[in-house]
């Protein structure tokens, strides 16, 4: 089946705001994502305009007659339900999951609690409030251990702890980004990611990408600013593993009531080959190093048509509140 069998009428999408920048720690990446999306939409004939919520007030979207928004914001104040709530009040459809799904997915603890309740595999964790509790978590979870802020992305504030004497600095780094800090069992093995496009029963998982980072360190620098990380698609996993991961990611997507699009990160235990869900990103990156465009390309869907397809899914939690033409 072609990746995009139904042509989309760009003119019917109306005046579009590409929300980019914002006030989160991921502002720099968001500007790169938004710039790419803006150029792609314009190349397909969409009346698209840049809009930075850090520099303008949200009510300007309504005053200037925008019909829908492509959210290219990352992190807090963009991916966490706050902007989605504002757009619900304005009655302007937007890309990606709604208010509740966005807020839950941004909160790694709440995400894990829901996945656990749904019987989906995710590494063991502890919420911590001090360096002392971090040391106790290290004793419980084992070596190595991941320490990270609960409500940040792009590995910002994350530390891989190898020894007890590293716990204090790791906690301080994470707490500097978010007062909510978590420790997580480290799964040794292969790191993969899998995007989802669509909603409900029509949602489909795209090809899995296997990530091979220098020294296994897939940090902020290696994600966005170097060419040293390898992204393998086809992923080259043993027979049946890719399909199993795609099925798992679809369950994770639906468990949080996501819609539109998202991307889930998964670790495959090297010893047991069991996949473990790490987190789900509800406003995935769209930079030159980003993974959703890479996976979509493997199905024959270009960057430009991916942006157009995502934009066409823009919706509201409460469509009855949308402005009438």
Give the residue numbers marked as catalytic: 26, 154, 224, 263, 265, 279, 281, 285
**Tally of helices (H runs) and strands (E runs) in the chain:** 11, 13
Residue 302's alpha-carbon distances to 3, 286, 290, 308, in angstroms, are: 9, 12, 13, 10
Q: Is the peptide bond before 234 cis (omega within 30 degrees of 0)?
A: yes
Q: Say how many Å lie between the first and final Cα of the chain, rounded.
A: 34
- Sheet of strand 15-19, all strands in order from the earlier edge strand to the far edge: 47-51, 15-19, 68-71
Q: Given CA atoms 214, 217, 220, 223 in this order, what sign does their dihedral have?
A: positive
Collapse the DSSP code of 106 into the 3-class scheme (helix H, G, I; strand E, B; otherwise coil) and give the result. Answer: helix
Secondary structure letter of residue 319 according to DSSP: G
Question: How many CB atoms within 10 Å of residue 64?
Answer: 12
Burial (CB count <10 Å: 0-12, 13-18, 19+), residue 239 = exposed
Residue 20's alpha-carbon distances to 83, 205, 235, 247, in angstroms, are: 11, 26, 31, 31
Contact (CB, 8 A) for 213 and 160: no
Rounded Cα distance between 121 and 275, Å, is 7
> At 237, phi and psi to the nearest 5?
-75, 160
Which residue is it, tokens 């890479």?
294
Collapse the DSSP code of 272 into the 3-class scheme (helix H, G, I; strand E, B; otherwise coil) and give the result. Answer: coil
Residue 50's alpha-carbon distances to 22, 102, 167, 219, in angstroms, are: 12, 22, 42, 28
């Amino acid at each position: 089946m072609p990746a995009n069998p139904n042509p989309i009428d760009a003119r019917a999408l109306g005046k579009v705001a590409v929300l980019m920048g914002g006030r989160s720690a991921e502002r720099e990446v968001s500007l790169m994502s938004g710039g790419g999306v803006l150029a792609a939409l314009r190349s397909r004939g969409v009346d698209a305009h840049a809009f930075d919520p850090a520099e303008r007030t949200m009510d300007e979207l309504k005053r200037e007659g925008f019909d829908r928004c492509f959210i290219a914001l990352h992190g807090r104040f963009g991916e966490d339900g706050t902007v989605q709530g504002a757009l619900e009040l304005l009655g302007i459809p937007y890309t990606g999951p709604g208010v509740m799904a966005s807020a839950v997915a941004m909160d790694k603890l709440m995400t894990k609690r829901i996945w656990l309740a749904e019987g989906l595999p995710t590494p063991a964790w502890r919420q911590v409030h001090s360096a002392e509790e971090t040391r106790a978590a290290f004793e419980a979870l084992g070596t190595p251990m991941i320490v990270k802020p609960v409500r940040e992305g792009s590995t910002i504030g994350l530390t891989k702890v190898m020894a007890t004497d590293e716990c204090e600095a790791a906690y301080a780094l994470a707490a500097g980004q978010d007062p909510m800090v978590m420790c997580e069992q480290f799964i040794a093995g292969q790191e993969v990611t899998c995007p989802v496009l669509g909603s409900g029963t029509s949602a489909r998982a795209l090809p899995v990408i296997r990530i091979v980072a220098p020294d296994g360190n897939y940090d902020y620098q290696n994600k966005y600013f170097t060419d040293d990380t390898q992204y393998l698609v086809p992923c080259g996993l043993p027979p049946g593993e890719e399909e199993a991961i795609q099925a798992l990611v679809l369950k994770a997507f639906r468990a949080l009531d996501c819609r539109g699009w998202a991307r889930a990160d998964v670790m495959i235990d090297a010893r047991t080959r069991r996949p473990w869900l790490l987190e789900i990103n509800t406003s995935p990156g769209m930079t030159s190093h980003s993974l959703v465009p890479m996976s979509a390309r493997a199905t024959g869907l270009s960057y430009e048509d991916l942006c157009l397809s995502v934009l066409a899914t823009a919706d509201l939690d409460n469509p009855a509140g949308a402005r009438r033409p």
